[in-house]
Structure 1
Amino acid sequence: MFVRTAGDRDLVAIRALLVETWHATYDAIYGADKVTAITDEWHSVASLKARLAKPNSEFLVAHDGKRIGGVAFAEAVDGGKLIALKQLYVLPSLQGRGIGGMLLDEVIESFPEAHAIRLEVEEQNTRAIAFYEANGFVISADLGEHAGASGEPALVYRRPLAG
C-alpha cells in the first residue's frame, strides 16, 4: 500500500470503504439502520467531494494499485497548531497490517507546523482506542463534539508532536 491524496476518481470507492467499515465497526453499537442513515448522510459522494476542496485539510487514501484499503481526513485548526483527525478507517479485512499507521504518519507529516493531534472516538470502539493508544495518544480532559451511542460525548485523545 502507498498513501496519496484523494481525488474525485476515488470518491465512490472511499464511500464503499466507509460504509463497509462503519457497518463492521458500529452495527453492534448503534444498530444497522442507524449506521446506514449515518453513512448515507456523512459519507455521501457529495459530502466526501466537499472535503477535497476544504482549506487547511488533507484527504488521503492508502492504495495498492487495485483498491483503496484505507482513508484519512484531517484539518489544521487553532492557527495550524493543532491537527483535528476527523477520519481514519481501514477496511476490516486489511486491519492490523500497518495501513492505519501509514495514514496517521502521512497526516502528521502534512501539517509540519502542528504541535499536537486530536481525535474523537466512540467509547465502545475498543479496537480504535487500542490503535490510538499504541500510537502515542492519551485520553484528554477535553469534551468531544460528537455524542456516542450512549448520548455521552465521544472520548477525546491527544498526542503531542515534536515541533
Structure 2
Amino acid sequence: MFFVRTANDRDIEPLRALLTQSFHATYDRFYGPAKVEELISAWHNQAEIKRRIHLKGGEYLVADDGKRIGGMAFAAMSDKLTKTAILHQLYVHPDQQRQGIGRDLFAEIETCFPDAEILRLEVEPQNEGAIAFYTAHDFAEVDRTRNCGGPDSGIEALIMEKSLR
C-alpha cells in the first residue's frame, strides 16, 4: 500500500528514476526517445528536482510504500495568474498505474493550496489516458499552447482547469 507524503532530499534519485521511466513510457511514442531524453535532462535532473522540492509556494508529493516511490505530484501557486495553482507534474510508475496512486496523489495535491480558486495544468493532446483522468476529476479544456513546460519549448499542450471552489 502506498502512502502520500511530502518529498524530501532523500527522494531526489528515486524521483529522477521514476520520472525517467514514466516519461519514456508516456512520451516516446509522441516525441521519440531522443527528444524525451532531452526533456528529461532539462526538466528532471537532480538540481531541478531539488529546486522544486524546496520551492516556496509549492508542494512536491510522493506515493511511498516504504520500499519504493510509486508516483509523484508537484504543484505550485502561479506567479502570473491570480488565485491559481499549477499542477506541473503527476506521474505514476508504469507498472503501478491503475491502482489508485494517481487518484490519491491528486486528492492530496488539490487540498494543498487553500488560497487557490483554480487548479490548472498542461497535457499532451494525444495523451488520451491523462486527458480522461483529468476530465474524470472535473477538469475542462480552456486553451491550448505551443510551449508546454516553458517559453519556446515548441511542445503543444491542452490547458485544462478545475475550479477549487
TM-score (norm 2): 0.90
- Between the two proteins, the alignment pairs up a number of residues equal to 159
Q: Distance in 2 between matches of 1:40 and 1:52?
A: 17
Q: Could you tell me whether the CA contact under 8 Å between 2:144 and 2:156 is conserved in 1?
A: no
Q: Where does structure 1 lack aligned partners over 5 or more consecutive residues?
A: none
SS of residue paired to 1:11? helix
Aligned to 1:43: 44
Q: Distance in 1 between matches of 2:86 and 2:146?
A: 12
SS of residue paired to 2:143? coil
Deviation, structure 1 residue 37: 1.4
Deviation, structure 1 residue 79: 7.2
Aligned to 1:17: 18
Determine whether 1:156 maps to 2:148: no
Deviation, structure 1 residue 153: 3.2
Q: Could you tell me whether the CA contact under 8 Å between 2:147 and 2:155 is conserved in 1?
A: no
What is the identity, as a one-letter code, of the residue corresponding to 1:100?
G
SS of residue paired to 1:113? coil
Q: Distance in 2 between matches of 1:90 and 1:20?
A: 10
Q: Distance in 1 between matches of 2:82 and 2:62?
A: 22
TM-score (norm 1): 0.91
From the superposition, tell whether residues 152 and 53 of structure 1 become closer, same or farther in structure 2 (CA, over 3 Å): closer
**Per-residue deviation, residues 74-127 of structure 1 (Å, max 9, x unmatched):** 001257611100000001111111111111111111111211100000111111
SS of residue paired to 1:109? coil
SS of residue paired to 2:138? coil
Aligned to 1:134: 136
| Structure-to-structure mapping, 1:96-135, within 5 angstroms | 96-135=98-137
Q: Could you tell me whether the CA contact under 8 Å between 1:144 and 1:156 is conserved in 2?
A: no
Q: Distance in 2 between matches of 1:123 and 1:28?
A: 13
Deviation, structure 1 residue 39: 0.6
Q: Could you tell me whether the CA contact under 8 Å between 1:80 and 1:113 is conserved in 2?
A: no
What is the identity, as a one-letter code, of the residue corresponding to 1:46?
A
What is the identity, as a one-letter code, of the residue corresponding to 1:7?
N
What is the identity, as a one-letter code, of the residue corresponding to 2:106?
L
Deviation, structure 1 residue 141: 2.9
Q: Distance in 1 between matches of 2:124 and 2:143?
A: 15
SS of residue paired to 1:60? strand
Q: Distance in 2 between matches of 1:125 and 1:7?
A: 29
What is the identity, as a one-letter code, of the residue corresponding to 2:90?
L
SS of residue paired to 1:140? strand
